[in-house]
Amino acid sequence: MRLKNNNEEVIKRLTRKILFTNRTRNIIALIAIILTTYMITTVFSICVSFVKNYNTLWLRVQGTTSSISLPNPSTEQMDLLKKENFKSVGYEIYAGSLISPELTKKNISITLIYSDKANFYKQQIPAYSDVTGHYPKVENEIMASYRSLEKLGITHPKLGMEINLKYKNRFGEFTDTFKLTGIYKDYTASSSVIYVSEAFINKSGLSLEQDGSAIMAVSNFNRDAVTKHLTTDFPLKENQEFSFSYDLTSQNTSTAIIAAVVIIIISLFIVFSGYLLIYNVLYISVTKDIHFYGLLKTIGTSPKQLRKIVRGQAAYLAKIGIPAGILLATATSFVIIPLALSSLGVNSYGNISMPVKIYFHPVIYIGAILFALLAVLMSCKKPASIAAKISPVEAIRFTGIKVKSKLKNNRNTTKSGKLHRMAFFNVFRDKKRAILVFTSLFLGITTYLCVFAMLDSLKVENFIKTYYPNDFKLTNLPPISQKFDNSFIDKIRSTPGVKNMHIQYITGIEADYNEEIFLPFINLELNSTSSNIDQDEKIR
């Protein structure tokens, strides 16, 4: 029966006093805690930045956040759509396409588009960068990307400059002078657009229902439910159909999830290593002070109180070490994160490189504090119970040497007096400590080697070696008749510098269509590639 009382004061005092008499131990423990926190914070920061940058990359590749469109919607349909469970609902109105001999020669098309606020700001802008100026307001204002302007021959665009454009829509061909009020950078490989104002649409006599499409973005969580709902319940006009383009986005989330899982595993690894490190420090410190704890117990300090004293010391050190580790990690993240992101190898898709922006998200700090605290708390459990369970008599009489160790059988040698032999045997005297130290070293070195090996192997050279083992490829394309004869091949082979040569033979065959054999392959092919072909087309 213990009274709830104010013996906390004396415990706190004892804790503080012991703490401050142990300077070396404190410094080492602090370094351990700071290091662990630092590593966890850095790993979390890299993870968060990676995921966010990766998302941005995919968004830019997509060109838009939207994935569903409905052509020629009526006003009633637009109202209905706004009530649905979409992330955003906007619309586009096709205003015409540019005519120009250069464009035609290069096989490029540029479309004039009007975007409403929802479509432009919620669905398009996230995929652009370096936006200057504003969306066209007045009839003759336009907004274009650097790429579109380059295609028109304008390499140094300036806001306010006047551009002459010839275009055609369903009403005919027109030429107008436009003022450039906005420029942005886009990343999609597909054809470019130039944005026009609402006034322009009205003047041209175009409308949403005749010339436009409703554009929707849906979140991944309810995507399937929404799709099902739209295809079955939504009232559509004759020949009107929803068009879905999901493939790219689903790939994006699964990659992000894999990245997150990998990072969490690495974090747990670091937590474990940190735990071992801090545990080691505390264990050694408690055994050094065991005389003191035993003395306290003799005087009447209960096991619970002794535990509090040990934990109190660890908590005090953690209070300093964890914030210090986080600050240090934040400071160095400006250098480390870009380095880590670029060396992770997944930094480009086609010509688009992943942005390297550093993100600070509360998750990083909350996660780091939690994991670091976890490591510290776990690692003081055992040392605390050692202090608590100490037999006072043992502690007073002896100084930390375990009495319980069974006396070893005689060692049949008289040579162990030598220093190096004594040192060797001393390592294994306390078996638990020996195992602990070896495990720590092993884990530390293994992690180090693994991480470096992994990072080192994510080189372009390795990628090329695996996927592009050849430096050159000479192909004889049909319908040109075969030019590669034996003398030609020998000439190539004997060219100085040619190390290896493989010859690949190709021919074509015509087989009768057999649905049983071929249809599965066709389906596989169609389902795996990203395509905007809807189901009926595929089957057809």
Partner 1 sequence: MSILETHNLKKYYGQQDNLVKALDGVSIKVNENEFIAIVGTSGSGKSTLLNMIGGLDRPTEGNVIVAGNDIFKMSDEELTVFRRRNVGFVFQNYNLVPILNVYENIVLPIELDGTKPDKDYIDSIIKTLGLESKITSMPSNLSGGQQQRVAIARALATKPSIILADEPTGNLDSKTGMDVLGLMKLTSQKFNQTMVMITHNEEIAQLADRIIHIEDGKVVN
Number of chain positions touching partner 1 (CB under 8 A): 32
Residue 197's φ and ψ, nearest 5 degrees, are -90, 170
Nearer to partner 1, 327 or 396 (CB): 396
- Using CA atoms in the order 285, 289, 294, 297, what is the torsion angle rounded to 10 degrees? -80
Alpha-carbon distance values, 57 to 50, 81, 88, 170, 511 (Å): 10, 28, 20, 36, 42
Cβ atoms 255, 354 nearer than 8 A:
no
User: Rounded distance, CA 79 to CA 315, Å?
Assistant: 59
* One residue of 7, 227, 332, 440 binding partner 1 per CB under 8 A: 7
Cβ atoms 81, 242 nearer than 8 A:
no
User: Rounded distance, CA 219 to CA 232, Å?
Assistant: 19
**Positive or negative torsion for Cα 24, 26, 31, 35:** positive
CA–centroid distance for 59 within its chain: 14
Least distance (Å) between residue 334 CB and partner 1 = 44
Least distance (Å) between residue 22 CB and partner 1 = 10
The SS3 call for residue 212 is strand
> Of residues 343-372, which lie at the interface with partner 1 (CB under 8 A)?
none
User: Rounded distance, CA 72 to CA 263, Å?
Assistant: 45
Nearer to partner 1, 10 or 501 (CB): 10
Nearer to partner 1, 300 or 479 (CB): 300
* One residue of 67, 273, 301, 313 binding partner 1 per CB under 8 A: 301
385 binds partner 1 (CB under 8 A): no
* One residue of 122, 297, 308, 311 binding partner 1 per CB under 8 A: 297
Least distance (Å) between residue 313 CB and partner 1 = 13
Least distance (Å) between residue 298 CB and partner 1 = 6
462 binds partner 1 (CB under 8 A): no
* One residue of 98, 183, 226, 296 binding partner 1 per CB under 8 A: 296
User: Rounded distance, CA 333 to CA 171, Å?
Assistant: 57
Least distance (Å) between residue 381 CB and partner 1 = 17
Piece in contact with partner 1 (CB under 8 A), picked from 6-14, 59-67, 78-86, 219-227: 6-14
> Which residue from 355, 317, 330, 326 is spatially nearest to 55, judged by alpha carbons?
355
Piece in contact with partner 1 (CB under 8 A), picked from 5-13, 146-154, 244-252, 370-378: 5-13
Mask: binding to partner 1, 9-48, rule CB under 8 A, as x and -?
Answer: xxx-xx--xx--x---------------------------
What single-letter amino acid sits at 176?
Answer: D
Cβ atoms 58, 249 nearer than 8 A:
yes
* One residue of 101, 172, 300, 362 binding partner 1 per CB under 8 A: 300
Nearer to partner 1, 122 or 308 (CB): 308
Nearer to partner 1, 8 or 102 (CB): 8
517 binds partner 1 (CB under 8 A): no
Q: What are all long-range contacts of 342-348, with beta carbons under 8 Å and residues at least 24 apart?
A: 343/455, 343/458, 344/50, 344/458, 345/458, 345/463, 346/54, 346/255
392 binds partner 1 (CB under 8 A): yes
The SS3 call for residue 169 is strand
Piece in contact with partner 1 (CB under 8 A), picked from 358-366, 384-392, 410-418, 429-437: 384-392
Nearer to partner 1, 325 or 383 (CB): 383
Nearer to partner 1, 287 or 301 (CB): 301
User: Rounded distance, CA 25 to CA 31, Å?
Assistant: 10
CA–centroid distance for 149 within its chain: 33
Nearer to partner 1, 218 or 386 (CB): 386
389 binds partner 1 (CB under 8 A): yes
Nearer to partner 1, 296 or 375 (CB): 296
Nearer to partner 1, 298 or 447 (CB): 298
Cβ atoms 295, 387 nearer than 8 A:
no
Cβ atoms 215, 94 nearer than 8 A:
no
Piece in contact with partner 1 (CB under 8 A), picked from 138-146, 189-197, 301-309, 470-478: 301-309
Piece in contact with partner 1 (CB under 8 A), picked from 89-97, 311-319, 385-393, 530-538: 385-393
409 binds partner 1 (CB under 8 A): no
User: Rounded distance, CA 439 to CA 441, Å?
Assistant: 5
> Which residue from 75, 76, 86, 141 is spatially nearest to 118, judged by alpha carbons?
86
Least distance (Å) between residue 330 CB and partner 1 = 37
Binding residues for partner 1 (CB under 8 A): 2-3, 5-7, 9-11, 13-14, 17-18, 21, 292, 295-305, 388-389, 391-393, 396, 407
